[in-house]
């Protein structure tokens, strides 16, 4: 889980590029089946400018765009890290992947991606039960283990899992532990659910942050504004770069995105400077004075 150069090392010894470019949220095209050239162009730009890690998901419906961007950019398969996620559904248990289980879902996604394997496959959420899905959460994990055994997913993990959810998987004595827990994480939301960052990290599970720019995209006018302005001036970096750097120095892998070339360029340039431990602590302490939760609103009860 340590940062080595521009990679994080996972508990199983594999590496993962320490910043990822997401094709969710603003690129999300669920229910629209035509190929979106804007997504392909954005991905090609991101790859050209240095992103080596793409965060996708079944629900984003952007797998064909990822596949096309990989072909167009000419990047070698082994030089790019691709994440996909099984659409388990939301807290209402009313909507989920049309495929019979995560094993079948990834096989279908690989066809769209035109790839033989993904580097990381996640359960997008923990809202899985036998009555609705036909398999339990631990059985869902078993499908991911099978995908790893067959080489269709090099690494496996989870997303939006609480401590209780992780315990359910870990207590089932799995063959493989989750390598990653992808959650909302920013200076204004330092624990998506109680104790989740510490518990994940103590168990060798790399935390990935979605929504890492929350303090400047949704939280402006808050107590971090002067701190970010000060550090931005000191290092000659944008406030976005300061926030992403803070995420990395918390031992967390940021997932971000942009349609703007100058921002994309700036995101891959966060390895050229380092915040002091005091500055990391200052962002942590001041950030705790405000909460901005953008996703998974069912967890708002913890705010
Ligand atoms: N597992 C899960 O449940 C979830 C996973 N994700 C993943 O995480 C990825 C990233 O999530 P996201 O929340 O978008 O990440 P960020 O917090 O990094 O936000 C990125 C957005 O911020 C905008 N932005 C960047 N810089 C600035 C700025 N200085 N001022 C104002 N706006 C700015 C970008 O738009 P612009 O084009 O204008 O630069 C972009 O829309 C997703 O694409 C997805 O892959 C996201 C949500 C849930
Ligand atoms: O990228 C994403 N945007 C979202 C919005 C709501 C729920 C999940 C997600 C994603 O995974």
pLDDT confidence tier of residue 94, bands split at 50, 70 and 90: confident
> What pLDDT is attached to residue 213?
98
DSSP letters for 209-269:
EESTTHHHHT-TTSTTHHHHHHHHHHHT--HHHHHHHHHHHTT-EEEE--S-HHHHHHHT-
Taking CA atoms only, the protein residue closest to ligand 1 atom 23 is: 258
Which whole number is the average pLDDT over 24-29? Answer: 92
Tell whether the model's pLDDT for residue 191 goes beyond 90: yes
Which whole number is the average pLDDT over 227-241? Answer: 98
Give the sign of the dihedral formed by CA 229, CA 233, CA 239, CA 244.
Answer: negative
What are the structure tokens assigned to 197, written together? 């960052």
Which whole number is the average pLDDT over 239-250? Answer: 98
CATH number at residue 36: 3.20.20.100
Tell whether the model's pLDDT for residue 30 goes beyond 80: no
Mutation probe of ligand 2 site: the residue of 20, 24, 127, 185 with most atoms within 8 A of C-beta = 24
Strands 180-184, 7-9: pairing kind: unpaired
Q: Is the CB of 89 under 6 A from ligand 1?
A: no
Q: Is the CB of 25 under 6 A from ligand 2?
A: yes
Cβ pair 174, 144 in contact under 8 A? no
Nearest to 140 by CA among 183, 91, 105: 105
Is residue 176 part of the annotated active site? The answer reads: no
CA distance between the termini of the chain: 28
> What pLDDT is attached to residue 33?
80
Which whole number is the average pLDDT over 84-97? Answer: 93
Spatial strand order of the sheet with 15-17 comes to: 3-4, 7-9, 15-17
Distance CA 57, CA 293 (A): 21
Q: Print the SS3 string covering 168-198.
A: HHHHCCCCCCCCEEEEECECCECCCCCCHHH
> What pLDDT is attached to residue 271?
96
> What pLDDT is attached to residue 2?
83
- Average pLDDT of the chain is 97
Tell whether the model's pLDDT for residue 75 goes beyond 70: yes
pLDDT confidence tier of residue 81, bands split at 50, 70 and 90: very high
Residue-number span of the structural domain to which 34 is assigned? 3-302
Residue 21 — φ and ψ, nearest 5°? -105, 120
> What pLDDT is attached to residue 31?
77
Q: How many CA atoms lie within 13 A of 117 on its CB side?
A: 18
Distance CA 43, CA 22 (A): 9
Number of H helices, E strands in the chain: 12, 11
Q: DSSP letter at 205? A: P
Q: Model-level pTM? A: 0.98
Taking CA atoms only, the protein residue closest to ligand 2 atom 3 is: 25
Query: Could you give the number of structural domains in the chain?
Result: 1
Strands 180-184, 153-159: pairing kind: parallel
Cβ pair 268, 261 in contact under 8 A? no
Cβ pair 10, 178 in contact under 8 A? no
Give the residue numbers of the binding site. 124
> What pLDDT is attached to residue 4?
87
pLDDT confidence tier of residue 32, bands split at 50, 70 and 90: confident
> What pLDDT is attached to residue 1?
67
Strands 153-159, 118-123: pairing kind: parallel
Cβ pair 82, 110 in contact under 8 A? no
Q: Is the CB of 57 under 6 A from ligand 2?
A: yes
């Amino acid at each position: 889980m340590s940062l080595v150069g521009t990679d994080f090392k996972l508990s199983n010894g594999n590496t993962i590029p320490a910043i990822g470019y997401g094709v969710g949220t603003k690129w999300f095209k669920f229910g629209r089946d035509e190929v979106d050239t804007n997504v392909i162009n954005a991905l090609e730009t991101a790859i050209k400018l240095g992103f080596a890690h793409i965060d996708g998901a079944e629900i984003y419906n952007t797998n064909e765009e990822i596949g096309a961007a990989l072909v167009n950019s000419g990047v070698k398969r082994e030089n790019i890290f691709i994440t996909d996620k099984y659409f388990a559904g939301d807290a209402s248990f009313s909507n989920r992947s049309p495929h019979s289980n995560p094993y079948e879902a990834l096989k279908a996604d690989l066809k769209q991606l035109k790839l033989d394997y993904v580097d990381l496959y996640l359960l997008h959420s923990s809202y899985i039960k036998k009555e609705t899905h036909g398999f339990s959460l631990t059985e869902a994990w078993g499908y991911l283990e099978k995908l790893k055994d067959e080489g269709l997913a090099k690494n496996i993990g989870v997303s939006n899992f609480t401590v209780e959810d992780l315990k359910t998987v870990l207590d089932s004595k799995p063959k493989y532990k989750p390598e990653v827990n992808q959650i909302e994480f920013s200076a204004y939301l330092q624990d998506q659910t109680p104790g989740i960052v510490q518990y994940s990290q103590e168990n060798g599970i790399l935390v990935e942050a979605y929504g890492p720019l929350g303090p400047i995209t949704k939280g402006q006018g808050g107590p971090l504004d002067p701190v970010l302005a000060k550090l931005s001036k000191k290092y000659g970096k944008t406030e976005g770069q300061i926030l992403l750097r803070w995420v990395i120095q918390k031992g967390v892998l940021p997932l971000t995105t942009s349609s703007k070339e100058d921002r994309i360029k700036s995101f891959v340039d966060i390895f050229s400077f380092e915040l002091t431990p005091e500055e990391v602590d200052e962002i942590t302490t001041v950030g705790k004075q405000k909460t901005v939760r953008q996703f998974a609103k069912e967890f708002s009860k913890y705010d």
